[in-house]
Amino acid sequence: MSRVLFFAHANGFPSETYRKLFAGLEPDYRIHRLAQHGHDPRFPVDDNWGNLVVELIESLERLDGPVWGVGHSLGGILHFHAALRRPELYRGVVMLDSPLLTVVDRLAIRAAKRFGFIDRLTPAGRSLGRRDRFADHAQARAYFAGKALFRRFDPDCLDDYVRHGLAPAEDGLRLRFDPATEIDIYRSVPHRVPGRPQRLAVPLAMVRGRDSRTVLPHHVRLARRMPRGECLSVPGSHMFPLERPQHTAELLRGLLHRWEEQAP
């Protein structure tokens, strides 16, 4: 059976930021991805990410047969929702530091949206007013290297973010991932799930960074209660796929190989 993997990125990080991770997988897997989720005008960001899931499903429908769905943060949740809706498109789903939200989580998110404090519950508040323009790549790299989010990045991944995450502008360079779209994605984080998680028909693995404050113990318990669910822990923060890309690739190869051997 063909080894095809569809990767979905984290919010704000275009797919080419993960080139070093892809390089560690491509000897064994053909990797497909969208350059940037949420930027196709046919699929504008909406509440609960419904359009983003449809955008992903349409991309999967163009491939020959089911895929391994691997996603980081936003991307893991999109794959999970797409697999609930269209399980025949998947062989399995791996969520890289993506939380499986419980009923209590979803009620809290719904309340935060209704009463206007969603920016405090998600990274949207920290993204407001962020710097999005730079004179050149050297200035941008120095700026991001000094930020806590990027401090543990593998140097090659930071270089790829600066190289592929910025686009030419009249006065230098600007962020390629539209900041307004990034904030809209955070503000529309799902409080609904398109199906019952306990009925997911394919294997699912949640891989969390040990220092992550995104995937919490109750998310881990939910993953392990799923029929074919499991949870793994690795060194690093929420951004571990870009902090330890080679280690992440090795983990994915081992996990997917084990699932392949267990498949009927």
For residue range 100-117, what is the model confidence (pLDDT) as tens digits? 999 999 999 999 999 999
Write down the H helix ranges in 188-232: 217-225
Structure confidence at residue 196 as a pLDDT band (50, 70, 90) = confident
For residue range 74-97, what is the model confidence (pLDDT) as tens digits? 999 999 999 999 999 999 999 999
Q: How many CB atoms lie within 10 A of CB 3?
A: 16
Span 207-223, mean pLDDT? 95
Span 122-135, mean pLDDT? 86
Q: What pLDDT shows up at residue 67? A: 98
**Cβ 70 vs Cβ 84: under 8 Å:** no
Q: What pLDDT shows up at residue 2? A: 59
Span 59-64, mean pLDDT? 96
In angstroms, the CA 206 to CA 219 distance is 9
Where along the chain do its domains lie? 4-101+194-262, 110-183
What is the overall mean pLDDT for the chain? 95
Two tokens, residue 224: 């392990």
For residue range 216-259, what is the model confidence (pLDDT) as tens digits? 999 999 999 998 999 999 999 999 999 999 999 999 999 999 99
Q: Which one-letter amino acid corresponds to residue 210?
A: R
Write down the H helix ranges in the chain: 19-25, 50-61, 74-85, 103-115, 118-121, 124-127, 137-145, 155-164, 179-187, 217-225, 240-243, 245-262
| Predicted confidence (pLDDT) at residue 1 exceeds the cutoff of 60 | no
Structure confidence at residue 124 as a pLDDT band (50, 70, 90) = confident
Structure confidence at residue 193 as a pLDDT band (50, 70, 90) = very high
Two tokens, residue 37: 């989720």
CATH topology of domain 4-101+194-262: Rossmann fold (3.40.50)
Pairing of strands 133-134, 172-175: antiparallel
What single DSSP character describes residue 5? E
| Predicted confidence (pLDDT) at residue 43 exceeds the cutoff of 50 | yes
